[in-house]
Amino acid sequence: MEILTGNELMSGATVYLDRDGNWVEDLQRARVFLKEETEVRDAAIAATKKTLRINSLEIEAVTLRDGLILPDRIRERIRADGPTAPRFDRQHLDRDGHVSI
Amino acid sequence: MYRYDEFDAAFVRERTAQFSDQVNRRLAGEINEDQFRPLRLMNGLYLQLHAYMLRIAVPYGTLASRQLRMLAHIARKYDRGYGHFTTRQNIQFNWPKLRDIPEILADLASVEMHAIQTSGNCIRNITTDQFAGAAADEIVDPRPVAEILRQWSSLHPEFSYLPRKFKIAMSGGPHDRAAIRFHDIGLQAKVDDRGIVGWEVWVGGGLGRTPMIAKRINEYVPNEHLLAYLESILRVYNRYGRRDNKYKARIKILVHETGIDKIRDEVAEEFRAIANGVLTLPQAEVDRIGAYFAAPEFERVNATVDVAKERIAEPAYGEWLDRNLHPHRQPGYASVTISLKPIGGAPGDATAEQMEAVADLAERYSFDELRVTHEQNLVLPHVRVSDLREVYDALVEARLATGNAGLITDMITCPGMDFCALATARSIPIAQEISRKFSAPERQKEIGDLKIKISGCINACGHHHVGHIGILGLEKKGVENYQITIGGNATEDASVGDTLGHGFAAEEVPDAIERLIDTYIARRETPDEPFIAAFKRLGEAPFKEALYGNG
């Protein structure tokens, strides 16, 4: 299973593509693409690239556990939550930082 | 300190305006990220895990109070109230927003600062000994020549698209405090038979995935020919350095694969063609730049401080005096290291309030001057011994009075996977746990001089290869794993540390370090024998046994 993630242009904040085509801050709202949804995923990537507003666009492998989305890579878990040391809140989107496809 | 002339000011102002326009075009969607990325990197703006990161140049690690105050202002207004000092004597802000970057650059320009050449395949910020111009053992203050090299290298048209980034470090004395043998070019001051100061030139050093100790390419290059000689090295590198594989593109690979003798011949041939030309440095120009770095008007004082007595009266102050002072060339003065390694803290971080406190101290007690060290600390270079108590009290108030310079808790640590997009493991939590484990002052004193250096990936920004004990974080099957190296040394006795065996889980690292330390203490000949000397004498066997047992 996979999700799409990137960094929003103005704030650099970590964002995820949700089911409605919005790029959102909350990992748990991310759309999870199954193996057979490659075409949909790739169409979402193409549409996102057209916005010019999401950088470092990546496909990330995830696992579903107890109803939660858990990225396979530690790096992605840290990206979702913010730095662990020193502990800082993650970067947030500015009011005009919302991107949809 | 050097002050911008009209050219410098116009150049930085124009660059700020140019990049502001580029940011606006990116925000308006007129250019895409593929077009914008190289432009932002040329201006020190990276995109990291959580946000943009702006890396600001601190040329040869020298700052004035007003510049540090501006950095504090930027931290408070545009970031999250702190900054991170790096092993390249620069400062990084981890949370700026793209639309604020033009204003930040304008603020920086107002105090003669910028973020140019802190990224990209160009000649990067030139680093020096943090005690330059102050150290008792110095042959010459390297900063005038460093400033000349800065002017030569800034947007050098021929060297703006090198095969890979290029780093130069300088040391003005016999003791290498700038790790010059681990730079693309290292320059060490040297006096010839006539007593004239020039430079011993080292080339092809570096860390990263292929650590190399630099080779000496020239025993002595006089000041007047230094620019032409360095230009010759850069031309040879620019011509022959590999561009097909970024992992083999640094000059260290070229020197290693070609051989230093052949490289020396190539450079000599190039030098013959351009020597005595436009790059010959007139003494008048050296003197003009040198005047900016003239020694302050020191008072003739002979005050001393009785460290042993102070330690009895107040152990923390005594320990700080013992560890954080460096001998000054002027009697009655000392250079003060301000540790940015509080117990359990993030190495190299300083809050806006701390930066302002240090700026105040520099203004009041150090002729308005301060330094950033490649070991991620700050320095007040010229403090009267009679002022040390007042400086210490102010540092206590600012929570900057940790007396641990050069001790086990004074670790170099890269930002690691908590911030860096390249990292494969976290670094800062490892440093924090080691710091806490060895927090007791008596324990640190018992161990003595020891350099632990931690990197969160093979790129080695935390200099792990040259730590007496090095720690390299990697990801192994989805778990952070830490390799421990031993025997590295960044000084004139340069060596690259060796890995002794398999890596450790994060929670195992502090205990593993403790086993190495206990072995050292049990085996050292005297309490004064430093860790690195004991390691060289004993070899790896006892340390390997300490880490992995005798099976």
Question: Based on the domain organization, do B139 and B245 belong to the same domain?
Answer: yes
- The boundaries of the domain holding residue B53 are 6-58+68-110
- What one-letter code names the amino acid at B125? N
Chain-chain contact of A12 with B419 (C-beta, under 8 angstroms)? no
Chain-chain contact of B346 with A86 (C-beta, under 8 angstroms)? yes
Report the C-alpha gap between A91 and B349 in whole angstroms: 19
User: Residue B309 half-sphere exposure, CB side, CA atoms within 13 Å?
Assistant: 3
- What one-letter code names the amino acid at B289? I
Q: Would an 8 Å CB–CB cutoff place B322 in contact with chain A?
A: no
| CB-CB contact of B192 with B183 (8 Å) | no
Tokens of A59: 């496909």
Question: Based on the domain organization, do B141 and B262 belong to the same domain?
Answer: yes
Chain-chain contact of A12 with B97 (C-beta, under 8 angstroms)? yes
pLDDT for A70: 96
pLDDT for B304: 87
Residue B453 lies in a domain: yes
- Number of domains within chain A: 1
Interface of B with A in 114-133 (CB under 8 A): none
Q: Would an 8 Å CB–CB cutoff place B50 in contact with chain A?
A: yes
pTM over 0.95: yes
Q: Computed from CA positions of residues B338, B344, B349, B351, in that sequence, does the dihedral angle turn out positive or negative?
A: negative
B428 φ, ψ (degrees, to nearest 5)? -60, -45
Distance from CA of A53 to the nearest CA of B (A): 8
- What one-letter code names the amino acid at B520? Y
Question: Based on the domain organization, do B83 and B31 belong to the same domain?
Answer: yes
3-state secondary structure of B255: helix
Tell which residue, B35, B227, B48, has the closest CA to residue B126: B227
Q: Which residue of A has its CA nearest to B30?
A: A52
pLDDT for B179: 98
Residue A64 lies in a domain: yes
Q: What is the ipTM of this complex?
A: 0.97
Chain A residues whose beta carbon lies within 8 Å of the beta carbon of residue B421: 56
Report the C-alpha gap between A73 and B371 in whole angstroms: 39
Residue B29: which of A7, A52, A91 has the nearest Cβ? A52
Using a 10 angstrom Cβ sphere, with 0-12 exposed, 13-18 middle and 19 or more buried, the burial of residue B453 is buried
Residue B418: which of A10, A14, A83 has the nearest Cβ? A83
- Number of domains within chain B: 4
Q: Would an 8 Å CB–CB cutoff place A48 in contact with chain B?
A: no
Chain-chain contact of B47 with A7 (C-beta, under 8 angstroms)? yes
Separation of CA B450 from chain center: 17
Q: Would an 8 Å CB–CB cutoff place A65 in contact with chain B?
A: no
Chain A residues whose beta carbon lies within 8 Å of the beta carbon of residue B52: 12
Report the C-alpha gap between B174 and B168 in whole angstroms: 17
Report the C-alpha gap between B267 and B203 in whole angstroms: 11
Give the CATH number for residue B483. 3.30.413.10
Instruction: Say whether the peptide bond before residue A86 is cis (omega within 30 degrees of 0).
Output: yes
Question: Based on the domain organization, do B139 and B105 belong to the same domain?
Answer: no
Separation of CA B251 from chain center: 20
Question: Based on the domain organization, do B427 and B538 belong to the same domain?
Answer: yes
Residue B300 lies in a domain: no
Report the C-alpha gap between B520 and B518 in whole angstroms: 5
pLDDT for B252: 98
Report the C-alpha gap between B455 and A83 in whole angstroms: 16
Question: Based on the domain organization, do B365 and B388 belong to the same domain?
Answer: yes
Residue A100 lies in a domain: no
- The boundaries of the domain holding residue A39 are 2-71
∠ Cα B228 B230 B236 (to 5°): 100
Residue B29 lies in a domain: yes
User: CB within 8 A of A15, min separation 6: which ones?
Assistant: A5, A6, A7, A8, A23, A24, A25, A54, A93, A99
- What one-letter code names the amino acid at B16? T
Q: Which residue of A has its CA nearest to B23?
A: A10
Report the C-alpha gap between A53 and B27 in whole angstroms: 8
Question: Based on the domain organization, do B14 and B41 belong to the same domain?
Answer: yes
Residue A46 lies in a domain: yes
Residue B403 lies in a domain: no
| CB-CB contact of B225 with B274 (8 Å) | no
User: Does residue A92 have a pLDDT over 90?
Assistant: yes
Question: Based on the domain organization, do B40 and B73 belong to the same domain?
Answer: yes
Question: Based on the domain organization, do B86 and B145 belong to the same domain?
Answer: no
Chain-chain contact of A9 with B421 (C-beta, under 8 angstroms)? no
Residue B122 lies in a domain: no
Q: What DSSP letter does each residue of A41-98 carry, written as one string? A: HHHHHHHHHHHT-EEEEEEEEEEEETTEEEESSHHHHHHHH--BTTB-PPP---TT--
Residue B145 lies in a domain: yes
Please, what is the end-to-end C-alpha distance for chain A in angstroms? 21
Question: Based on the domain organization, do B103 and B207 belong to the same domain?
Answer: no
Residue A85 lies in a domain: no
Report the C-alpha gap between B496 and B176 in whole angstroms: 15
pLDDT for B33: 97
3-state secondary structure of B393: helix
pLDDT for B346: 97
∠ Cα B177 B182 B183 (to 5°): 100
Question: Based on the domain organization, do B75 and B100 belong to the same domain?
Answer: yes
B110 φ, ψ (degrees, to nearest 5)? -65, -20
Beta bridge partners of A68: A65
Residues shown for chain A: 101
Chain-chain contact of B421 with A82 (C-beta, under 8 angstroms)? no
Average pLDDT, consecutive stretches of 10 residues, N- to C-terminus, chain B (551 residues): 91 95 97 96 96 97 98 98 97 98 97 94 95 97 96 92 97 96 98 95 97 98 97 98 96 98 98 96 94 95 88 94 97 97 98 98 98 98 97 98 98 98 98 98 97 98 98 94 98 96 97 98 97 98 95 70
Chosen for mutation from B22, B27, B33, B481 (greatest number of chain A CBs closer than 10 Å) is: B33
Give the CATH number for residue B355. 3.90.480.20
The total of other beta-carbon atoms located within 10 Å of residue B276's CB is 10
Beta bridge partners of B128: B170
Question: Which letter, b or e, does each residue of A51-79 get, where b requires 16 or more Cβ atoms within 10 Å of its Cβ?
Answer: ebbbbebeebebeeeeeebebeebbbebb
Interface of B with A in 197-256 (CB under 8 A): none
Residue A54 lies in a domain: yes
Tokens of B522: 């049990």
Residue A7 lies in a domain: yes
What does the longest C-alpha to C-alpha distance in chain A come to?
Answer: 40
Q: Which residue of A has its CA nearest to B95?
A: A91
CB pairs under 8 A between A and B: 76
User: CB within 8 A of B343, min separation 6: which ones?
Assistant: B402, B409, B435, B436, B439
Given B397, B432, B458, the domain boundary residue is B397
Residue A93 lies in a domain: no
Question: Based on the domain organization, do B352 and B475 belong to the same domain?
Answer: no
Using a 10 angstrom Cβ sphere, with 0-12 exposed, 13-18 middle and 19 or more buried, the burial of residue B339 is buried
Residue A77 lies in a domain: no
∠ Cα A28 A32 A34 (to 5°): 160
Residue B266 lies in a domain: yes
